[in-house]
Amino acid sequence: DAGITQSPRYKITETGRQVTLMCHQTWSHSYMFWYRQDLGHGLRLIYYSAAADITDKGEVPDGYVVSRSKTENFPLTLESATRSQTSVYFCATSLSYEQYFGPGTRLTVT
């Protein structure tokens, strides 16, 4: 049982390029979340989804796009990557109260 997987685990991209981070879950949890983790800021919510086709902005949504056509997948797209988007990105799921995190994707924008 894989739980939550994120791909790629590491990514280096150039400023201005589009990049998509993938998140897949095997539990069929209704909620999925995207966070970015930066030193001194903790975990900041980018977008979240209560169910397929339902998404909402979090604290820092600018420059990001999400979609959720299937319950198990929640991709995060950086439409035109900027250096300020260099970060570690975590996907998480939740059924009710407990939240489960994936292993993270370390993204570097040069």
Question: Per CB under 8 A, does 98 bind another protein?
Answer: yes
Task: Assign 93 to helix, strand or coil.
Answer: strand
* Residue 11 engages another protein in binding (rule: CB under 8 A): no
- Taking the least distance from each CB to another protein, the nearer of 14 and 38 is 38
Residue selected from 35, 81, 87, 107 as contacting another protein according to rule CB under 8 A: 35
Q: How far apart are CA 20 and CA 38, in angstroms?
A: 19
| Site size for another protein (CB under 8 A) | 25
DSSP output for 59-73: S--TTEEE--SSTTB
Binding residue for another protein (CB under 8 A) from 2, 28, 42, 69? 42
Q: Applying CB under 8 A, which residues contact another protein? A: 31, 33, 35, 40-45, 48, 50, 54, 56, 58-59, 90, 92, 97-104
